[in-house]
A and B are shown apart, each in its own frame.
Chain A
Amino acid sequence: MADYTPHQFDVLVIGAGGAGLRAAIEAAALGAKTAIVMKSLLGKAHTVMAEGGAAAAMRNADPRDSWQTHFRDTMKGGKLLNQWRMAQLHAQEAPDRIWELEEWGAVFDRTTDGLIMQRNFGGHTYPRLAHVGDRTGLEIIRTLQDKLIHMPVDVFMETTVTHLFKTGDTIGGALTYRREDGSFQLFNAKAVILATGGIGKSFKITSNSWEYSGDGQALAWSVGADLMDMEFLQFHPTGMVWPLSVRGTLITEGVRGEGGVLRNSTGERFMFSYIPEAFKNDVASTEQEANQWVQEVIAGKQATVRRPPELLTRDVVARAINSEVRAGRGSPHGGVFLDIATRRTADEIKRKLPSMYHQFKKLANVDITKEPMEVGPTCHYAMGGVRVDGETEMSSVKGLFAAGEVAAGLHGANRLGGNSLSDLLVFGRRAGAGAADYVKQASAVKADASAVDRALAENLACFERKGGENPYAVHRELQEMMQTYVGIIRTDADLRHALAELDKFEPRVKQLSVTGSRAYNPGWHLAMDLRSMLTCSRALTLAALERCESRGGHTRSDFPDYDKEWAKVNQVVKNENGVMKLERVVRPPIPDELKQLVEEA
């Protein structure tokens, strides 16, 4: 049997985006012997790509803001399916987490009186996003990375977890392979924190990188942890649509926050026709009002009128764009137009949105200070994931924690832009603390040797097998299938078809062949990632089929309305002897004072 190198830690953090780095810093600060592993190099995780900002009610740009308003906006955006306790902790603690970054060296954009500047984003009542031009994620990850390297944390780069092990009902360890040479390592750890991010790589048009194969969700489920809210997948309204090779690449919502407007092929500013009943009171009803709002905000004043409909929540805007394109009013390449050129000066655009300017110039040969961008929805963010306890981030498996995009609960049916970066900081820290606290009374566990042997054999089988399919071909087909049948608009028939297709993918993924050696072999990596993609795709499709209503990121054209009964429950995907079972769990009752906040809306 293949060899492996054993390691022993108190806390193993899987993933080095914002959530994993913040968790590792906290666990180590609290005295736990901590290791962090990641698929890529340090500093390259998804968090580095985040553009627009991190939401925190610091009240620097508009003193009317408060954690209560942030809480309300988050619950409203999530269509009340959020775990209220998480939404509360998030809104209360986010400002401290941003100030803490400043203390660690982050340099955010500033207000005229020298404080951290905040910008507007969809679904947020007030300007709330701490940002650095449009490279906020880079600022956050670099600050955390530079903090981490001076902490007692062992860092294992380009090291991928393929299996988790449980001893009895407790987490025991993880098997990894190192990309560089294809060698295996066994991490025995008393606590494991999943911070592996999202699942978007199962879709064809996506803003997500190769890392987003849903490993954390799949690993958690494999050891019996519950997944929750898997049907809620966010399609960001503005991905690039042209040239084809960059289709899906993200255009930050900051463009709309800075005054950008959406138009169809007739030049109509169409978002006014798509304002949902529940948001009627929050949004400008005329172009004049919307424009006044932008003028006031740009001038650094407090807005006295309502914000433009382009700043509605992402689910609403993505569906509106989808409808315009379907109605034949799309742009030449199947999107709509996003115009900032006629709204702000070239200098302002270059200063506030430098990387967008750069990206369009380089990749699409478009000067966004002169021309509109062509945009369309792109698969972006998983609201669902591992079900955790809101205070400690422990999953339903003892010693297994999850934070960041891999965890469920904070965002409910739809995430507000900017709430992810603050999520990582708030719940990354809480997971690190939860795990450090847990390991104090947990005894050391060792993964079962025969389970490890089985895992090793599973990882290596595709080298010995001849004549199996090429993982790239299978991946492409999976992406096409998921995009077509489990995309923005879903129906009973499509979802059933997708399930039948997933049944066919199952044996194919088990029978892949790879060529070459174990050293830095991307075909082999993909063969293993596909196992996770399949698990996540199935959980998502099953949950989407079951939820017969439309809400947030989940739209059923056969059930276009909200359903009161579905409002009372979250949907959990359980592992019953290796079979996925759905269960509806009644939402914990919300305390009166918070309920009142939501109802005031």
Chain B
Amino acid sequence: MGNIVQMKVYRGDKSGGSLRDYSLEIDEGMVVLDVVHKIQAEHSPDLACRWNCKAGKCGSCSAEINGKPSLMCMTRMDSLPQDRPITVEPIRTFPMIRDLVTDVSWNYEVNKRIPAFTPKPKNPDGTWRMYQYEADRVQEFRKCIECYLCQNTCHVLRNHDKHDEFFGPRFMVRLAMLEMHPLDAADRLKLVKEAAGVGFCNITKCCTEVCPEEIHITDNAIIPLKERVADEFYDPIRRLFRVFAGK
């Protein structure tokens, strides 16, 4: 049956806060989110956190668990060392609202600046053909659940605060998805280079490490984007080649 764990959960708001200690009994198989819910139900009903699916699908429950950016609903308690207290803190790159909840609205503003999917004309039979191998490439990026753990981890945003100049890994993934979408006709490379600031990324791969969807953010999204930018703006011959090869 249950054993007792020690938790340190961040409590606070815009004006500041600190870790608060909780000691409680847990059952087999519990995840961190269960423990947070138990704290709400039994100790602090006003403890603020976000969640929806409890199955790693909605990206709401992002937090830093023992300092590591993670989803609370996909982190089993028995995967964490129990000989010391487990800390749960909000993701730190975004402004604090309360407790485990931060203001992630900046991400939604960034998304609006990316021009929408722009479809190519259909085939004469009224369909679009796309083969699974073509779909596979973009489907990797479409798995993104917008947990913003990568945004939280990226030092360009976190330490250098370049929110005005760099869209962050999440939106590099989205831009790569659109650029590689077999049915999209728009060209966003100028945006990738300038407003989105792909040049700020120096490929440390910290974002890839924390992505719960295991998207290869750097290798599959950012590096190809950088290459396309290089082709487009610095290498006229390869650019011509791409025009003839069709994207």
Question: Measuring CB to CB, which residues of chain A are less than 8 angstroms from any residue of chain B?
Answer: 40-46, 48-49, 102-105, 107-110, 112-115, 117, 132-133, 135, 137-139, 142, 146-147, 149-150, 155, 157, 180, 209-211, 242-246, 249-250, 355, 358-359, 362-365, 470-473, 476, 514-517, 519-524, 526
Contacts and interface: CB of A to CB of B under 8 A. Distances in A.
A524 B105 CA distance: 23
A523 B40 contact: yes
A141 B210 CA distance: 23
A421 B59 CA distance: 20
B46 A517 contact: yes
Contacts of B59: 43-44
Interface stretch (B138-146, B156-164, B198-206, B215-223): B138-146
A362 B56 contact: yes
Contacts of A473: 41
Given A521-B48, A522-B47, A107 B142 contact: yes
Given A250-B55, A358-B56, A520-B97, A472 B41 contact: yes
Give the contact-size bracket for chain B: 35 or more
Contacts of A523: 40, 45-46
Interface string B103-135: 111001001100011010000000111111001
Contacts of B128: 102
Contacts of A147: 116
Contacts of A365: 76
Interface stretch (B27-35, B80-88, B227-235): B27-35
A153 to B, nearest CB: 12
A157 to B, nearest CB: 8
B81 to A, nearest CB: 17
Nearest to A115: B127
B191 interface: no
A249 B33 CA distance: 14
Given A138-B145, A363-B76, A522-B40, A244 B52 contact: no
B41 A115 contact: no
B54 interface: yes
Contact of A470 (B45, B105, B146, B181): B45
A493 B28 CA distance: 36
A355 B60 contact: no
B74 interface: yes
Contacts, number: 169
B193 interface: no
26 contacts: A49-B52, A104-B117, A105-B116, A107-B138, A107-B181, A114-B129, A114-B131, A115-B129, A138-B142, A142-B142, A209-B53, A211-B52, A250-B55, A359-B55, A363-B31, A363-B55, A470-B41, A515-B46, A516-B45, A520-B48, A520-B97, A520-B98, A521-B46, A523-B45, A523-B46, A524-B46
B99 to A, nearest CB: 7
Contacts of B49: 522
Contacts of B143: 135, 138
Contact of A355 (B45, B56, B135, B183): B56
A110 B132 contact: yes
A574 B72 CA distance: 42
A209 B116 CA distance: 30
Contact of A249 (B41, B42, B50, B55): B55
A44 B58 contact: yes
A514 B101 CA distance: 19
A473 B29 CA distance: 22
A142 B108 CA distance: 12
Contacts of B209: none
Contacts of B104: 41
Nearest 8 Cβ contacts at the A-B interface: A243-B29, A516-B46, A523-B45, A105-B117, A114-B129, A472-B41, A520-B48, A520-B98
A594 B192 CA distance: 54
Contact of A242 (B29, B45, B52, B178): B29
A472 B36 CA distance: 13
A44 B119 contact: no
A302 to B, nearest CB: 20
